[in-house]
Structure 1
Amino acid sequence: MIKAFCINCGEGKQDPHKKCSACGLLPNKKSDIVKSVWLSTERCLSEDELEVDNRPTIEELQTFASEIKYGKQVAYPQNEIELLTKQFEEVSEVSWFKVLLVGLPFIIIPIIAMVLLISETL
């Protein structure tokens, strides 16, 4: 199922972060990743969009992608690109250490509770 389009050739793909099977572009630069996310149905620019589900339709994205496919110069909405860039930078700042530090209690506490429950039944 197509959920995104390649920023280089306009072909459809399943995930904005994956390599394009048509032209081989793998978005790995920040600007390419942000544009790839913008050109997908999975983008979300604000909390309001989460509540209302204001994401673009596949048809809207196909129109934009067809311009890329036919070699036209496309202009991404600068305000949306800036917002997605900011979101990307904020997510990139989260380290695995922070994730483990925050998530560890959610793993350890159930394990301790299970051990205590099993030890009481023996």
Structure 2
Amino acid sequence: MSCSTHDRPIDVTDILARLKTLSSAEDFFGALGVAYDPKVLQVARLHILKRMGEYLATEDFDGLPDLVIAARAKATLARAYGDFESSSPLSQRVFRVLKDHDPDRPVPPKTAFVALGDIMKPIASD
């Protein structure tokens, strides 16, 4: 099943400002005319938008016409969506919490040292 938005033209007027006002993943896909599978979006919506933001952060839109900006934004959303079409959010590790808990990067064991004398001290009552 796919949600297609290819049948209507994209409104490119002031596209970056309009993208900043959108609130749902479906809004982004609709505004940019990118088709998506609702099942993929249901699982990875935040990850896709975060990845899109990472891709957009590398772009320089200064002085570009709205048509070019819209085309680049559409391409970044399609690219971000493609990252998760055949891969899970866990394997992509977009968010810090997932990066910090990467099983392929074991955490060095932490040791706590408590001196024997500290254990043997009586608990002071106030």
TM-score range, shorter chain: 0.3 to 0.5
Higher RCO structure (Cα 8 Å, ≥6 apart): 2
Q: TM-score, normalised by structure 2?
A: 0.33
Larger Cα-atom Rg: 2
Q: TM-score, normalised by structure 1?
A: 0.33
